Structure 1
């Protein structure tokens, strides 16, 4: 009889080795299933109070993107600090794509005005730009002026007595009116609020006469409760064709404000692409378009590369604006 080679495998050993060889073919699928993005809910920060136009738009984007991504996108409101709370939250966040934020224009401006915890270019991933605000100056229906020219005349006759509400010190509605006031030679009394919803409560309640903000004023203008004096864009708003812009009224102040979705720095490009594609597709969603139309916001799409370049340009441009207005932080 031939002696058994002690190094020759028996049947059980052969099966074990075969299983071991097969294991690597099984493991990658298991690992990929675990690593597939997204595999859990995503949080999207809206840096404004609940109930305002910004909150409504972000919730529409979140719901639509969640359907595309196959997960829930939960909106978390973090109001205050001129809309920069979302960007600040990205500094210590894991760059895994599960915490995102709206990126309003103020994040490129406020770091030039005061010490902030983030650098809007170096500390953020700009994923996709989606839309933008339309700004305007509105007043109560019983205000003692009916046009922007009459408001200027009233302010000149009553220096520092005409109050106006805005969305926070250093935000676009605030700086737009400060620039306009300087060019018009008037002194207004600015009253900061945490967001558009609070401003609307104040002006509809008769606590302030004038507001500078987004088009959340629109339905109240249409109902006759408020009067729209001017819009701040480069062209008249199609919803209010009879309302002049500040520029055509004689004061060269133009304010337009694109915004989109961002995350922490260092995100995996593959995850960024998944998020970019999902949020871009939301612009094709009829419910999203209905919400944008409701708040008179246009579709303003920028790819990841274009949005990143926009951020770099805007950060530099805002620095120049802040220095021109004498609002730069002390070094």
Structure 2
């Protein structure tokens, strides 16, 4: 008799198929039901102690409570944030390795200095907060205003130095945009992060610092002077410092931080992470930390964050051409 016509045998066969299907189901699907069941690694592509590091540590602490597992932050600094970004994109897409995505990856990918395609190789979890960038000098600097600095830079092209957090990064590109708008030539000194750049400016080895608000406590303590900020409007904490745009230079740099994961994250895991980081970014606890480091909250959920990255990618194509960034990168 044909097996398919025997009801008892047919039922046995169907039961076996169902069991085999469960046995062979992709591990990523089954794992999503219990995610997370162990600590999560968070890659921060900047040195410890900077504003990005402080921001990410705060968010991770809150999100860890939501997820019920520790989030262990690892600093993987270098190459203007691209070493950590490359590690993130290359990690296993299981939700146990996530990290900060520097928006400058949209620039470095097109320049060719990092093997990451931000439009294809990353899963976007949340945009978190912006940064308050500014130009600061030691309190005993000969520059009393940005106008003073510009006048002297025009008199001695290339003589004035500034420290930044890495070639091609937001602080470097922002200063070069400003220099081009002002018609001046400055001498850029690259560091692996803002903390090291700050120390050399405070020590008098470099004339100026271009950074997010690592300079803030030193300005408040009277050890540094803030010449200008780079946002759309003045920052409330330093309302006496003009913006570059106010001073006649059409330059605005905010470079929002965001959180991502490798491409291929299981949908259920992605949803779990998006929910946890939504709660974290929108919490009063994080807002207080963000205010303390002058990092305006600029939350976007994963899909909107991806759309934002795509728009920045298109803008960077023109900026790379305008500033001859490929040539600058080649010179180091």
TM-score (norm 2): 0.87
Q: Which residue of 2 aligns with 1:313?
A: 311
Output the CA distance in 2 between the equivalents of 1:308 and 1:284. Answer: 19
Residue 86 (structure 2) aligned to one of 64, 88, 94: 88
Equivalent residues in 2 for 1:276-291, closer than 5 Å: 276-291=274-289
CA contact (8 A) 2:157 2:184 kept: yes
Structure whose alpha-carbon radius of gyration is higher: 1
Equivalent pair of 2:166/2:192 in contact (CA under 8 Å): yes
Helix, strand or coil at the partner of 1:224: coil
Of 107, 112, 118, which aligns to 1:109? 107
| Structure-2 separation of matches of 1:40 and 1:171 | 34
Q: Report what 1:53 is aligned to.
A: 51
Q: Which runs of 5+ in 1 are unaligned?
A: 1-19
CA separation in 2, counterparts of 1:256 and 1:144?
28
1:140 corresponds to which of 138, 141, 154? 138
Uncovered stretches (5+) of structure 2, i.e. residues with no partner = 1-14, 24-28
Please name the residue that 1:14 is paired with. Answer: none
SS of residue matched to 1:143: coil
Shift of 1:227: 0.3
Q: Is the 8 A contact 2:32 2:269 kept in 1?
A: no
2: distance between equivalents of 1:55 and 1:34? 28
More helix, by proportion = 2
The separation in 2 between residues aligned to 1:287 and 1:219, in whole angstroms, is: 20
More moved, 283-292 vs 192-201: 283-292
3-state DSSP of counterpart to 2:127? strand
Which of 265, 273, 276 is the matching residue for 1:275? 273
| Distance in structure 2 (CA, Å) of the matches to 1:115 and 1:155 | 30
The aligned length equals: 307
The 3-state SS of whatever aligns with 2:306 is helix
Out of 24, 37, 41, which is 1:39 matched to? 37
Once residues 261 and 217 of structure 1 are traced to their aligned partners in structure 2, the CA distance between those partners, rounded to angstroms, is 25
Instruction: Tell me how far 1:33 sits from its aligned partner.
Output: 8.2
* Length-normalised TM-score, structure 1: 0.88
Contact 2:103–2:309 (CA under 8 A) maintained in structure 1: no
Alpha-carbon distance in structure 2 between the residues aligned to 1:163 and 1:33: 53
Aligned mates of 2:252, 2:89 — CA distance in 1: 32
Within a 5 Å distance, the mapping from 1:233-312 to structure 2 comes to 233-312=231-310
SS of 1:49's partner is: coil
